[in-house]
């Protein structure tokens, strides 16, 4: 009497070989490289606005951004007695002017080349040319 081979061990071996062939170790390519710099989509209050009395300013971008060396590169004019608080949150830059606003004064926040996108480090561009600077300008309220 001959012993008949059961197909279960053969099927189990075949399944193990198929599953082992499917697992390939590697990292995903992540797609094409991003060369597009961040763009401002909203300013609160609006850039170049007048009669402003709000000491909190917000700039919103189209992608996640990072401020590099904000304490060295970002300049607020006229100079403030108390340093303004500048922080990022995702796609936004929040600026809080801790000093009191002078009447009939134009305030300028010059970011130099501090704004870059989060993933590739592309610097902010103004229009089609790179000048490495974003200038946010608001005027204080008239008496």
User: What is the C-alpha to C-alpha distance for residues 142 and 118, in angstroms, rounded to an integer?
Assistant: 39
Percent of the chain exceeding pLDDT 70 equals: 85
Cα 87 to Cα 106: distance, rounded to the nearest angstrom? 22
DSSP string, 20-63: HHH--------SSPP-PPP-EEEEESPTTEEEE--SEEEEEESS
Q: What is the mean pLDDT of the chain?
A: 83
How far is the C-alpha of 58 from the C-alpha of 72, rounded, in Å? 20
Q: The pTM is what?
A: 0.74
To the nearest whole percent, how much of the chain has pLDDT over 90? 31
Q: What are phi and psi of 124, to 5 degrees?
A: -60, 140
Grade residue 4 by pLDDT with cuts at 50, 70 and 90: low
Amino acid 1: pLDDT: 55
Q: For 75-120, how does the pLDDT look when each residue is reduced to its tens digit (9 = 90+)? A: 999 998 998 999 999 999 999 999 888 888 899 999 888 999 988 8
Give the range among 7-11, 22-26, 49-53, 70-74 with minimum mean pLDDT. Answer: 22-26
CB 105 within 8 A of CB 50: no
For 55, 63, 88, 121, the CA distances from 91, given in Å and listed in that order, are 20, 6, 7, 14
């Amino acid at each position: 009497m001959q012993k008949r081979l059961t197909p279960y061990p053969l099927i189990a071996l075949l399944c193990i070989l198929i599953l082992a062939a499917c697992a390939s170790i590697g990292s995903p390519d992540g797609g094409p490289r991003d060369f597009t710099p961040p763009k401002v989509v909203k300013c609160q209050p609006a850039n170049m606005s007048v009669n402003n009395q709000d000491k909190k300013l917000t700039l919103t971008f189209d992608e996640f951004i990072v401020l590099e060396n904000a304490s060295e590169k970002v300049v607020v004019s006229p100079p403030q007695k108390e340093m303004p608080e500048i922080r990022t949150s995702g796609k936004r830059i929040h600026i809080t002017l801790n000093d009191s606003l002078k009447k009939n004064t134009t305030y300028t926040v010059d970011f130099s080349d501090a704004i870059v996108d989060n993933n590739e480090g592309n610097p902010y561009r103004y229009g089609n040319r790179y000048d490495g600077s974003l200038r946010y300008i608001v005027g204080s309220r008239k008496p």
